[in-house]
Chains A and B, each alone.
Chain A
Amino acid sequence: MTSVDQVIPDGDLKNPSALADLFDQLLREPNIDKTFSARLMAARECLTVGSIESEPFLSVLLRTQGRRIEPLKDALLCLAAQSDQDFEVIVIDHDADKTAAAHVRRIVAEQEPTFRDRIRVIEVKGGGRSAPLNAGVAAARGEYLSVFDDDDLIFGHWVEEFHVAAGRASGRMLRAVSATQRVRPEVWPHDELGFRTLSNPHAEYAQSFDFFDHLRVNHSPFMSLAFPRMLFSVLGLAFNDELSVCEDWDLILRGSSLAGVDDIEALTSIYRRWEGGNSSYTDHSINSWRESERRVLGGLNDSALLMPPGSVTRVRELLEVQAEGQNARLQLIHLTHSREWRWTRPLRVLLRMAARGKRLLRRLTRRGTAAGKS
């Protein structure tokens, strides 16, 4: 028996975070240097659940600018109705003007007292989309945290599913399935700035998390994920303030590399796609999106990354597909430069002309028939 076996609790060996898993692998090496082992073990301890004081289970960061009061009321009702109430809500008023800020506070004050007591409102002035998130992270006390924007919807088991999954995946990111639904702004009968729902929920996002697919494009709306708070409090991650958009994608990629992701087989949220009105898609230019994407990928390229189990097979498959594509291209080049290809050129020209003639004849026949009918 090695000293490592005596120290690491069985529970943590079940499904630890990616980084903890790497530490465990290193610690299992029979010839590991004792000093290094001791230090690594101390670091590993920091990654166990319970190493940071955390209560409640979940901190919900709810960003708002107070511009969409009716969707904000929807969001708060969805939270009030959760089957698992082991969470706190941090409403982050980001750059709301005086009137909007007052609306937000009034709506919070109207909530049912046992729910209202678990809501805090913090005010953030200036900064990009990351600024309120980092302020929310600093205020959060939960074991996990999740970002739920003021215009999306969650189902009644959103917290419950995260909570159950956290029990089997200590320290990993948690991801449930999310749907999309189209809405457009509309004034309601009592002159409220409301909206009209235009479609059924559509499960267009990937059902499970794939790191490589996410490198290409983000397949995970923010509220489909719960992040272990230790990613921020122990490992020091933060939302990148230099990004005008894509701050979620950036943290999902960096966080999933360190923590790994545990999939939840349940649809627990709806991402509302706005047609008309303001959204991050309309508030930022294409150039801004491209620049943020470039920064996200640049940052990852400059970093060492932990890949999830199965990555070797996945990378080999991707390389094989690439190689097959290259082979096919080479064969095509070879074919088009061959003697046989050159010799049969007149025949191909004749065939093309015949096909063109046939098409012309068909068009003329159709026109004639149509004229006859009228």
Chain B
Amino acid sequence: MTDLRSLAVQSILYQNDVEEIIRAARATSNAATYARENGFLSDWWLMLGDSSPSQLLDAVALDTIRGLVEESGGQFSYEFFDRNRGHGGGHNKLAQGGSTDLLLFLNPDGIVAPDTLAALMQTVRDDVGVADARQLPMEHPKNFLAKTGDTSWASGACAMTQRAAFDLVSGFDTETFFMYCDDVDYSWRLRLHGYRVVFEPGARLFHDKRLTTSADWQPGEAEVYYSAEAAVLLAYKYSRSDLATEILEAFRTSGDEAQWRAANEFANRRRLGTLPTQLDENHDIGAFVAGNYAVHRY
């Protein structure tokens, strides 16, 4: 195979367990070795951006990770941001000035399988702007076409994108989104530019989610707040003011403190005139289905 391409794997740290970060780096380096040996990957970088209040990685941890990456033919960089830039903000910062063919947004504690990078690299080409991996043990329920993998949006937990596509849409919208839905928005803006968004089931990511004994997912407080805030902003941005109004009304009457705060934040932005520019006025791309951003399989 002659289609060698370069790749920057980017992860944003925020008070993660250092051992988990090293374990993730070990898995990523192994996957890079596989992709190099199988003719997909040329040069590669592992880039960590640290949004924690204080520097998370000491010299020993940095040396360990650098050793793993260099052994797999890659280069390593670590940047302490000295402030919490959020998910998209951190990725935008790391991507600044880079020149690799591809970028991979990866959760800092996400464990990839040996062939994950290769599988994504095989998929992200031509008109595919971004592709995401299948998450284990809890697979995301968004629907995808069996033969092509086409789907509504790609999850930023493990998503590979073409550098050209990233630059075309100026990366993530950090003015609007902090932690959630920035990946949905990124996917939809790529689709507005004619790119396809694809789910690659043959690429795997272990994302350490855990369920209660009754198989329920209990979101943390930050997840409830930021996903609520993002939900109404996304509806507004994709020209669904009707839906945004509906969501705001539901938040205000829900009795949930996080949702009430999210409604207030939206009102503040409206007052300050900082709401995003509206897109997709014909509703060609944005999918709002029963509180989700795609048709779900279950």
Partners in one complex: yes
Instruction: List the interface of chain A (C-beta within 8 A of B).
Output: 70, 73-74, 76-78, 80-81, 83, 107, 110-114, 153-157, 177, 179, 186-190, 192, 194, 196-203, 207, 265-267, 270
Besides the known contacts A156-B206, A177-B213, 11 further A-B residue pairs in the complex with CB atoms under 8 A apart: A74-B204, A81-B23, A83-B208, A111-B114, A112-B27, A114-B26, A179-B211, A201-B138, A202-B215, A203-B213, A266-B210
Closest residue of A by beta carbon distance from B212: A267
CB atoms of A201 and B206 under 8 A apart:
no
Chain B residues near A270: list those with CB within 8 A. Answer: 137
CB atoms of A74 and B202 under 8 A apart:
no
Closest residue of B by beta carbon distance from A183: B139
> Known contacts being A113-B30, A153-B137, A196-B146, is A81 close to B213, with CB within 8 Å?
no
Chain B residues near A198: list those with CB within 8 A. Answer: 297-298
CB atoms of A201 and B211 under 8 A apart:
yes
Expressed in whole angstroms, the minimum distance between the Cβ of A181 and any Cβ of chain B is: 9
In chain B between 24 and 38, which residues have their CB closer than 8 angstroms to a CB of chain A? 26-27, 30, 34
Chain B residues near A188: list those with CB within 8 A. Answer: 146, 149, 201-202
Query: Residue A70 contacts which of B139, B202, B209, B215 (CB distance < 8 angstroms)?
Result: B202
Please report the C-alpha to C-alpha distance between residue A241 and residue B155 in the assembled complex, in whole angstroms. 46
Please report the C-alpha to C-alpha distance between residue A111 and residue B209 in the assembled complex, in whole angstroms. 22
Q: Kindly state whether residue B148 has any CB partner on chain A within 8 Å.
A: yes
Q: Kindly state whether residue B123 has any CB partner on chain A within 8 Å.
A: yes
Closest residue of A by beta carbon distance from B143: A196
Chain A residues near B206: list those with CB within 8 A. Answer: 77-78, 80-81, 156
Q: Kindly state whether residue B111 has any CB partner on chain A within 8 Å.
A: yes
Chain B residues near A202: list those with CB within 8 A. Answer: 215
> Known contacts being A189-B148, A190-B202, A199-B298, is A81 close to B111, with CB within 8 Å?
yes
The residue among A113, A177, A196, A200 with the most chain B CB atoms within 10 A of its own CB is A200
Please report the C-alpha to C-alpha distance between residue A154 and residue B281 in the assembled complex, in whole angstroms. 44
Please report the C-alpha to C-alpha distance between residue A106 and residue B49 in the assembled complex, in whole angstroms. 34
A–B complex contacts, Cβ < 8 Å, 19 sampled: A70-B201, A70-B202, A73-B113, A73-B204, A78-B136, A110-B114, A112-B26, A112-B114, A154-B137, A155-B137, A156-B206, A188-B146, A188-B202, A189-B200, A189-B201, A192-B201, A196-B297, A197-B141, A267-B210
Please report the C-alpha to C-alpha distance between residue A202 and residue B214 in the assembled complex, in whole angstroms. 8
Chain A residues near B132: list those with CB within 8 A. Answer: none
Please report the C-alpha to C-alpha distance between residue A83 and residue B20 in the assembled complex, in whole angstroms. 8
Chain B residues near A267: list those with CB within 8 A. Answer: 210-215
Please report the C-alpha to C-alpha distance between residue A262 and residue B59 in the assembled complex, in whole angstroms. 43
Expressed in whole angstroms, the minimum distance between the Cβ of A109 and any Cβ of chain B is: 9
Q: Kindly state whether residue B271 has any CB partner on chain A within 8 Å.
A: no
Closest residue of B by beta carbon distance from A70: B202
Chain B residues near A154: list those with CB within 8 A. Answer: 137
Chain A residues near B114: list those with CB within 8 A. Answer: 107, 110-112
> Known contacts being A188-B201, A189-B147, is A201 close to B215, with CB within 8 Å?
yes
> Known contacts being A154-B137, A157-B210, is A187 close to B146, with CB within 8 Å?
yes
Closest residue of B by beta carbon distance from A75: B136
The residue among A70, A112, A265 with the most chain B CB atoms within 10 A of its own CB is A112
> Known contacts being A112-B26, A112-B27, A267-B212, is A200 close to B298, with CB within 8 Å?
yes
Please report the C-alpha to C-alpha distance between residue A194 and residue B199 in the assembled complex, in whole angstroms. 13
CB atoms of A203 and B201 under 8 A apart:
no
Expressed in whole angstroms, the minimum distance between the Cβ of A186 and any Cβ of chain B is: 6
Chain A residues near B212: list those with CB within 8 A. Answer: 267
Chain A residues near B202: list those with CB within 8 A. Answer: 70, 188-190, 192, 194
Closest residue of A by beta carbon distance from B115: A110
Chain A residues near B113: list those with CB within 8 A. Answer: 73, 76-77, 80
Please report the C-alpha to C-alpha distance between residue A80 and residue B23 in the assembled complex, in whole angstroms. 9
Expressed in whole angstroms, the minimum distance between the Cβ of A115 and any Cβ of chain B is: 9
> Known contacts being A201-B211, A266-B213, is A78 close to B298, with CB within 8 Å?
no
Chain A residues near B201: list those with CB within 8 A. Answer: 70, 188-189, 192, 194
Please report the C-alpha to C-alpha distance between residue A288 and residue B136 in the assembled complex, in whole angstroms. 34
Q: Kindly state whether residue B274 has any CB partner on chain A within 8 Å.
A: no
CB atoms of A111 and B208 under 8 A apart:
no
CB atoms of A77 and B213 under 8 A apart:
no
| Binary CB contact string for chain B from 112 to 155 against chain A (1 if under 8 A, 0 otherwise) | 01110001001100000000000011110100001111000000
